[in-house]
């Protein structure tokens, strides 16, 4: 097992500097600067196509930025020599479509990366997995296959899978957008618990209520730039920018 490199406590959890991303001729991110402190919950809102997912995916290098730098707890993940796999194992990611491994049971979904990436023994991995399944309220479904779970249950398993890697922070890309309305609450409840435990979280969401209640910071993106950011209650009650006002008037 590799020695854990303790995060630099002074550094921001995520620090993004002048980030640009281009797909062909289409510039999707046009110079993004922002940071998340340890323990902060930052919610990102904005119209569809504004680049929210791309920004999130750049943070753990699922997309390679065209220009700019991203630091994760002081380490530059955009550095060509960075050990991206090791950094990723410290950043949990939850997808809109859950992306559970359909050929594995719930328990196996939670254990595989613990064993193959963290080098934990089977017994150790199972113990951690069971603890996290209990946390998301699905202790009794460990031998089910993903296809036999509801969307809400699948998303909670996906969260537990990320948590089993003991991440320092979690990224969420519209985690409730693919869910039936009555299942959204369970997932949000799990996320609220996480936030209250002090997990650093970056959440792309359309759940304005969640952003207001749980968020420490709200970021509004439009057309590849951050238009406005600040305390969620202030931004939501009193948006400064015209584009923010227009967007909020549609979703609120």
* Residues of this chain that bind ligand ADP (CB under 6 A): 23, 26, 28, 46, 48-54
Per-residue x/- track, 5-44, another protein (CB under 8 A): ----------------------------------------
Residue placing its CB nearer to ligand ADP in the complex, 3 or 26: 26
Shortest CB 214 distance to another protein, Å: 22
- Min. distance of Cβ 167 from another protein in angstroms? 9
- Residue 138: half-sphere exposure toward Cβ, Cα within 13 Å: 31
Residue 100 makes contact with another protein by CB under 8 A: yes
Give the residue from 55, 138, 127, 131 showing the smallest Cα distance to 100: 138
**Shorter beta-carbon distance to another protein: residue 30 or 86:** 86
Query: Is 143 near another protein (CB under 8 A)?
Result: no
Residue 192's H or E segment, with its range, is: helix 181-196
Residues 6+ apart with CB under 8 A from 144: 105, 106
Contact 194, 7 (CB under 8 A): no
- The listed partner (another protein, ligand ADP, Mg ion, none) that binds 49, CB under 5 to 8 Å by sort, is ligand ADP
User: In 3D, which of 175, 184, 107 has the Cα closest to residue 146?
Assistant: 107
């Amino acid at each position: 097992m590799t020695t854990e490199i303790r995060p630099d406590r002074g550094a921001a959890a995520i620090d993004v500097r002048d980030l640009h991303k281009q797909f062909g001729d289409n510039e999707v991110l046009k110079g993004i600067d922002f940071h998340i402190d340890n323990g902060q919950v930052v919610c990102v809102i904005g119209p569809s196509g504004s680049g929210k997912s791309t920004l999130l995916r750049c943070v753990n290098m699922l997309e390679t930025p065209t220009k700019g730098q991203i630091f994760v707890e002081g380490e530059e993940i955009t550095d060509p020599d960075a050990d991206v796999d090791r950094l990723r194992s410290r950043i949990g990611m939850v997808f809109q479509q859950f992306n559970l491994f359909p050929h594995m049971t719930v328990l196996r979904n939670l254990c595989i990366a613990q064993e193959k990436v963290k080098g934990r023994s089977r017994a150790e991995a199972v113990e951690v997995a069971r603890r996290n399944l209990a946390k998301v309220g699905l202790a009794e479904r460990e031998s089910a296959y993903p296809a036999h779970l509801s969307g809400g249950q699948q998303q909670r398993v996906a969260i537990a899978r990320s948590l089993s890697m003991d991440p320092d922070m979690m990224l969420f890309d519209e985690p409730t957008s693919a869910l039936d309305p009555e299942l959204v609450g369970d997932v949000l409840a799990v996320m609220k618990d996480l936030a209250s435990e002090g997990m650093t979280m970056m959440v792309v969401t359309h759940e304005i209520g969640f952003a207001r209640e749980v968020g420490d910071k709200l970021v509004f993106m439009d057309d590849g730039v951050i238009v406005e950011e600040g305390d969620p209650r202030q931004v939501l009650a009193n948006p400064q920018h015209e584009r923010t006002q227009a967007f909020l008037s549609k979703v609120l």
